[in-house]
């Protein structure tokens, strides 16, 4: 028998056997891995840094806007920016040295909380000094020491809360992206 006929007879035999064997229902889930509808990608280090900077700026602008509105000065965008400048300058001057923008904490929520709190505690006295130099010193009637200290503790607590409220979910989101979830 020629080779071609042996190969064709083997094929016919396997075809008959597959027809006689009972068909097992195949589940697409068992054979195909489930793909998510949308796969989020991990952010680049540059993208994370830009996001952190923009988010931090927004936190200080929110603080300044709420503060000026609370003290009866209304919400004026330019004045809110002017009020936020000492805090922004101090934050971006001090916090990088404390490690608030390190790449390794951008995907670790617990470390982000600790590093943000330490960074703001180190920045706070510098921010209050800048605030006094730029805003309080030039006012016709500067605040008393007790008023200034009350304001300083409000600044400490409120800005820390805003920064944590923004940075912890950011780190959590980056952690989930890193894990592919």
Chain segment 155-177, per-residue pLDDT in tens: 999 999 999 999 999 999 988 88
- Residue 4's pLDDT is 59
Q: What is the average per-residue pLDDT within 36-47?
A: 73
- Residue 100's pLDDT is 93
| Residue 126 clears pLDDT 90, i.e. is over it | yes
Query: Residue 134's pLDDT band (boundaries 50, 70, 90)?
Result: confident
pTM comes to 0.73
Whole-number Å distance between alpha carbons of 96 and 92: 7
Strands (E), 26-150: none
- Residue 95's pLDDT is 95
Query: Residue 135's pLDDT band (boundaries 50, 70, 90)?
Result: confident
All residues at 6 or more sequence positions from 83 whose CB lies less than 8 Å from its CB, including other chains: 64, 67, 68, 135
DSSP 73: S
Q: Which helix (H) or strand (E) holds 50?
A: helix 45-70
User: Over the stretch 65-118, which tens digit does the pLDDT of each residue have?
Assistant: 998 888 777 778 898 899 999 999 999 999 999 999 998 898 899 999 999 999
Look at the block and give the residue holding tokens 């080779």.
3
- Residue 19's pLDDT is 61
- Residue 180's pLDDT is 77
Q: Where are the domains of the chain?
A: 45-179
Q: What is the mean pLDDT of the chain?
A: 83
Burial 38-64 (b: 16+ CB within 10 A, else e): eeeeebeeeebeebbeeebbebbbbbb
């Amino acid at each position: 028998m020629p080779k071609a006929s042996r190969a064709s007879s083997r094929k016919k035999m396997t075809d008959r056997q597959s027809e006689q064997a009972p068909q097992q229902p195949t589940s697409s889930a068992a054979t195909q891995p489930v793909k998510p509808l949308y796969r989020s990608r991990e952010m680049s280090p540059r993208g994370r840094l830009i996001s952190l900077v923009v988010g931090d700026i927004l936190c200080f602008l929110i603080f300044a806007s709420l503060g000026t509105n609370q003290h009866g000065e209304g919400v004026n965008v330019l004045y809110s920016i002017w009020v936020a400048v000492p805090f922004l300058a101090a934050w971006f001057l001090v916090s990088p040295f404390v490690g608030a923008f390190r790449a390794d904490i951008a995907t670790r929520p617990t470390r982000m909380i600790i590093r943000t709190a330490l960074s703001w505690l180190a920045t706070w006295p510098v921010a209050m000094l800048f605030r006094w130099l730029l805003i309080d010193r030039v006012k016709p009637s500067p605040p008393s020491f007790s008023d200034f200290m009350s304001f300083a503790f409000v600044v400490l607590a409120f800005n820390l809360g805003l920064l944590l409220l923004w940075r912890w979910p950011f780190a959590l989101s980056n952690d989930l992206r890193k894990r592919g979830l």
